[in-house]
Structures are given as structure tokens and as C-alpha cells.
A = this chain, B = another copy of it.
Amino acid sequence: MEKGPLGRRRGRGARERILSASQQLFRDQGINRTGMDQLCAVAQVSKRTAYQHFTSKDELVAEYLRRFDPDVMPGVFDRTDLTPRERLLAAFEIPASTPLCPYIAAAVELHDPQHPASQYARDYKTAIAARLTETAREAGATNPEQLGEQLALLIDGASARTRVLNSESFPTAAAIAAVLIDNAIPASSPRQPSDDRGTTGSAPVPVGAQ
């Protein structure tokens, strides 16, 4: 994008432009409703080049999902300025503009558990749950695996519900999370144990997706 308008930007970064356009279009329109023609036009890439980098649209979709990992994972969990408990709650402070977890959307749209993209979706969900479990362990939960899985379920529920209804469901999920966390941590937490509500008062967390 450094080359100006009407950019005769030569091949370098074609792959990145394709993936960037995929993120935008798949998010805004869905996977099935985005054709390769439109995608190539947005990416300013010829179809020839597109099919040189990705042998098929399925492969592009798979790579599109795989690429989300590095973007999303470090969002909340690396914030050392927060206690583990605050980090767990911060995972629910998702901006309302965030559409729907792309992994859920892809799993529904592709409708094929054998699709390579579906495998990446499972990997991502598992990784998120593992991160939550790890943080739950830091927070002193008696059963970190259980708490991590529970919080992951809450995130997905809020994401799906936000999509179907228009109302924001993450505050509801955060309230549930607060109850679960307080019930799961025996007596002494690293900080005050009674926060009652999900909002920790810190700045919105710049998490890329849920």
C-alpha cells in the first residue's frame, strides 16, 4: 500500500494483500458470498497471481483462518499490568463492532468438519481455552481446566448471541464469568475478591477477535 493510487504495485506482497482482503471481505460479507473476482479486485491482484499463491479458494480460506492466531492470541493474556483475575475478566471486554468469531462463522459456512479450515478453527478454540486455563491457574483456581473451558464457552455464547440478536451479550457473559471466577478461587486471590460486575474499569482491551 506504500505505492500510491492506481498503483502498479509489482508482485511483492501480493500474498499479503490477498490475505488482507480476505480478512476484510470474509468478515463483512461472509466466505460464501465473497467471490474470487471481487477478492482479487480489492486485493489489486490478478486471478492468475491469486491462484499462484493459493491453489484453491479452500486453501485460501484455511490460510485466512490460520493467520488469525498470532493476531488474536496475545491480546489480553500478556497484559502484565493486570492481575490474573482481571485478565480473565478483560477477555470479555470486546468492542461491540467485533462481528462474530471468524472460526464459528467459517465452521458454519463451510459446513464440513473435514475442511482444513475447520481444523484450524478447532486448534484456535483449543488454544484459547488453554490460555484461559493457564491464566485461571495463575489466579489460583481450584480447577483451572474447568474454569478455562467454562470461560471459553461464555465467550463463544456471547459471540454467537451478539450475532443472532443485535443486543450486546458480552456484558452478560462477563457477569457470569465474575460469578464463576469468584466461585472457583478458594479464599485468597491476589487482589480484592469482590468486584461484583464484569467491568474492571480499565481501558478497553485491544483484542482483535473473540
Q: Spell out A's residues near B (CB within 8 Å).
A: 29-30, 32-33, 100, 103-105, 107-109, 111, 113, 118, 121-122, 125-126, 146, 149-150, 152-161, 163-166, 169, 172-173, 175-176, 179-180, 183
Indicate how many identical chains form the complex.
2
Please, which residues of chain B bring their CB within 8 A of the CB of A161? 125, 152-153, 156-157
Q: List 14 A-B contacts (CB under 8 A).
A: A30-B111, A100-B108, A104-B160, A107-B163, A108-B108, A113-B166, A122-B164, A122-B166, A125-B161, A125-B164, A146-B172, A154-B154, A157-B157, A157-B158
Please, which residues of chain B bring their CB within 8 A of the CB of A173? 153
Please, which residues of chain B bring their CB within 8 A of the CB of A180? 176, 179
* Distance, CA A107 to CA B160, complexed state (A): 9
Taking the closest CB of chain B, its distance from the CB of A88, in whole angstroms, is 14
Taking the closest CB of chain B, its distance from the CB of A107, in whole angstroms, is 5
Please, which residues of chain B bring their CB within 8 A of the CB of A153? 154, 157-158, 161, 169, 172-173, 176
A29 and B111 form a contact (CB under 8 A): yes
Looking at A33, A125, A150, the one whose CB has the most chain B CB atoms below 10 A away is A150
**CB closest residue in chain B, given A100:** B108
* Distance, CA A157 to CA B149, complexed state (A): 11
* Distance, CA A149 to CA B158, complexed state (A): 11
